[in-house]
Amino acid sequence: MRKYLPFAFAILAFALPFVLYLKTLAPTYIPIDAAEFTMCVHFWGVCHPPGFPLYIILGKIFTVLVPIETIVYRVNLFSAVFGALTILIIYLSLIRLNVDKFVALLIVLIFAVSSTFWEYSLAADVFTFGTFLVSLTIYFALLKQKIPAFFLLGLSASHFYITAILWPIFYWYLMRDRETKRQRDKVKEFFVYGFVFALGFFPQVIMFWRMQQNPEINWGHAKDIYSFWYYLRRQEFGSIFLIANPVLTFNPIKVYKHYVQYFIELFSSFGVVLPISILFSGIFLNLFKKREVLFLLLVFALILFVQLFLLGTIDPTGEDNPFAISKFYLATFVPIILLIGMSVNKLSQHFFEKENTYPVILLLLILGLYLLSNFKTHNYSKNWFTQNLVLDGLSSLPKNSLVITVDHPFYFGSLYEQKVNLKYMDLTLLYFPNEKNRDSQGYHPEVFNRVEDTRFVNKIKEGKTLGAAEEYVLSTISKNLDRPIYILQGSFEDNFFRYLKPYIEPYGLFWRVKADLSEIVDKQKIVSVFDNLKNKGFKKSDFMFRQQASEGVTYAISYHSTGALLGSLGDLDGARRMFFKSLAIDESIKSVRDELELIDKIKSTFAQKDKLIADKNDSKLSELGNDYFSIGDYRDAASVFEEAIKITQSSAQ
């Protein structure tokens, strides 16, 4: 029976996380990239740079071989499988490092239920797969299997370029016996293992070939080697940094904040005491003298340094940070977990004479605490919010509409509804992710190969200075004014599309572009768009998932803009109802509270209007007129000002 125990523990290392992930798996696409990766896998397409071709190829094979549920569910399941496989490989690495099997199992399970790793094992994304590649590469290095280790390092680098920097460390660690060889043999080895490493980039070759087939999803539309090289280097995003543009610039202070954020995440993910055990056993028990430990420390330090440097254009604590930064830390956690396992094992041997009861009890307590505290926030099994957002938006639009968005989850979610669920096929979707991307022209040349309405463009641009992205979107809109055009609302969009006012008016979750300002507003129709929403009765604070909290703000902004429109039309009660709906979602929006106070003030003053006229109180009437003007109700403002002028002619100014 005892001889089967190691196999039983290995099975548990995979099965326990997998069952947990299966229980809490997202049934549909959730932010931020799940819909995009689902579409790329389904159509064997090309994702945003660097493309993640190995993930896409294996995902395609997996979804064909596992024909259950929906496509998006299968791709979500693909993440869960590789999440559980990562836990298994790290467990086997700990056993290879002679860590007690009970200790090893509990440590990897703690990682399995840690917040970030659990989250990215529940939906389509590349991070559990990337962590799997890193862990498998390190495992074969620990086994001293040189050819597989260097090949897997190449595969890992083809997925996340950053791991390519580990080549010298792997060469140093795996070539420990090179002193006994002739110089010619050393040179030969160097080139052989370099060649094996390069072979790991074969998925990029397949991706280039696939780009030429023009799949349904073809980010970049690279047609030659030069444009493919441009794509691989992520030049669309600016530079070597994750994001680089005139707004997001590199700053050493941001790098410092990333280090602070990283170590907060590290200690909070492993119960504080486990990372500290590495320092204690390394300094006081000479753990750092072991070659394996030095290898793991170098892997950890190099990935961490380069990764946080490349994130140095983003403030991890900023409100405008578009990312869940912690996902970029996962690769560094692999060597940390192995070091934790060796440290706990060393401490157990030193203080408890190889009796592991007390360490096991401590690890069980940490495991139980994380499992209970994270289960509620990471149970995505009933999370339909993002898909409902897409359905709420698209179902409200008339046929033949041109739909413009800069929102990543909404665009790819909409594509999923069109191309997989075969809904809303009469809508044309345009996505403008940044000022350099022109993919929409590749998908919909008929939209862009039309004549620009220069009169409309000049009216919009009068007195304004527009950026390249704004100019591009404006030109596209002007070419298609014979169609209904709708722009998805959002916090970023509220600023980006401000140049289009007053040629846009709210329509549900969208703005509707109107070329004719004399067009009469159908107030009843605009309000009725909100009648059949799927997402109702939620608050921004309900969401632990940061990106979905941002999606919730889309509803708050839409209610707010509709309320502002109703206020400008003189419907103060309708405006109040919309403002209250906006505040019910996000009570922190100060501008909505200010407008509510202004409307209440207008209503209160208007109730005294006849008395103010009788008392000839022109100052109070002028104040009322100014308040009407502030909410955009120019008709009522003019009416009140006329009464004020009758009292005091000088008020005409």
For 51-86, b/e burial (b = at least 16 CB within 10 A) is bbbbbbbebbebbeeeeeeebbbbbbbbbbbbbbbb
Give the pLDDT score at 319: 63
Q: How many of the other CB atoms lie within 10 Å of CB of 241?
A: 18
Its pTM stands at: 0.91
Question: pLDDT (tens digit, 9 = 90+) per residue, 9-21?
Answer: 999 999 999 999 9
In angstroms, the CA 150 to CA 194 distance is: 8
Q: What is the mean pLDDT of the chain?
A: 89
DSSP string, 398-464: PTT-EEEE--HHHHHHHHHHHHTS---TT-EEEE--SSS--HHHHH-HHHHSS---HHHHHHHHTT-
Q: What would the two tokens of residue 292 be?
A: 């394996």
Name which of 278, 300, 279, 274 is nearest 367 in CA terms: 274
Question: pLDDT (tens digit, 9 = 90+) per residue, 484-540?
Answer: 999 999 888 888 899 998 899 999 999 999 988 777 888 888 899 999 999 988 888
Question: pLDDT (tens digit, 9 = 90+) per residue, 212-235?
Answer: 999 999 998 998 999 999 998 888
Question: What mean pLDDT do residues 129-144 have?
Answer: 96
For 1-33, b/e burial (b = at least 16 CB within 10 A) is eeeeeeeebbebbbebbbebbeebbbbbbbbbb
Is the peptide bond between 169 and the residue preceding it cis, with omega within 30 degrees of 0? no
Give the pLDDT score at 39: 96
Strand 504-507 relative to strand 510-513: parallel, antiparallel, unpaired?
A: antiparallel
For 345-355, b/e burial (b = at least 16 CB within 10 A) is bbbbeeeeeee
Q: Which residues pair with 488 in a beta bridge?
A: 510
> Torsion over CA of 422, 424, 426 and 429, rounded to 10 degrees?
-100
Q: What would the two tokens of residue 51 be?
A: 């493309």
Give the pLDDT score at 519: 79
Q: Is the separation of the CB atoms in 232 and 50 below 8 Å? A: yes
- Percent above pLDDT 90 for the chain: 62
Question: pLDDT (tens digit, 9 = 90+) per residue, 563-621?
Answer: 999 988 888 899 999 999 999 998 888 888 888 888 888 888 888 877 877 777 778 87
Question: pLDDT (tens digit, 9 = 90+) per residue, 257-287?
Answer: 999 999 999 999 999 999 999 999 988 888 8
> Torsion over CA of 187, 192, 193 and 199, rounded to 10 degrees?
150
In angstroms, the CA 643 to CA 355 distance is: 92
Q: How many of the other CB atoms lie within 10 Å of CB of 435?
A: 16
- Contacts with 296 (C-beta within 8 Å, 6 or more apart), sequence order: 138, 335, 338, 339
- Confidence band, pLDDT 50/70/90 cuts, at residue 169: very high
Helix, strand, coil percent values for the chain (each to nearest 5): 65, 5, 30
Q: What's the first-to-final CA gap in the chain, in angstroms?
A: 98
Secondary structure of 506-519 in HEC code, one letter for each residue? EECCEEEECCCCCC
Q: Is 319 exposed, middle or buried (0-12, 13-18, 19+ CB in 10 A)?
A: exposed
